Amino acid sequence: MNLIIGLLLTLLGQIVIWFQTNGQFVWESFRKNPFLLAVSFGTIVSYLFILGTKYLALHFDGLIWPVRFIGFGLGMIVFSICTWYFLGEGITPKTLVSLILAFVLVSIQIFWK
């Protein structure tokens, strides 16, 4: 259960941070209010990542390396999906290979015991 909770919190954190940093390219209001976004979203993102790290570390018996790799891999996956969907940037062969590697990285951490 710690794994599922940790993954969901980290995934949600990655989604929120994508909007915080890249929403300026989608919405005028985000572009005009960077300080407000930093203050409001920053607290939420930090809290999600702190809790996500806690639950993932509990699942991995206190180990932090798997947590870092999972966070990085999920970040790559979320970034590519959101950037494609909201900004219309296509998935190039280089990006596709990177995404496959991100899936492999996350899978290794989750399934390799």
pLDDT digits (tens, 9 = 90+) for 45-97: 999 999 999 999 999 999 999 999 999 999 999 999 999 999 999 989 998 99
pLDDT in tens, 15-33: 999 999 999 999 999 999 9
Residue range of the domain that includes 34:
2-111
Domain count, the chain: 1
Q: Are 81 and 19 in contact (CB under 8 A)?
A: no
Q: Are 99 and 91 in contact (CB under 8 A)?
A: yes
pLDDT at 113 over 90: no
Rounded CA-CA distance 48/45 in Å is: 5
User: What is the pLDDT, as a whole number, of residue 22?
Assistant: 97
Q: What are the distances in angstroms from CA 54 to CA 72, 85, 109?
A: 16, 30, 16
Query: What sign does the CA torsion over 98, 100, 103, 104 have?
Result: negative
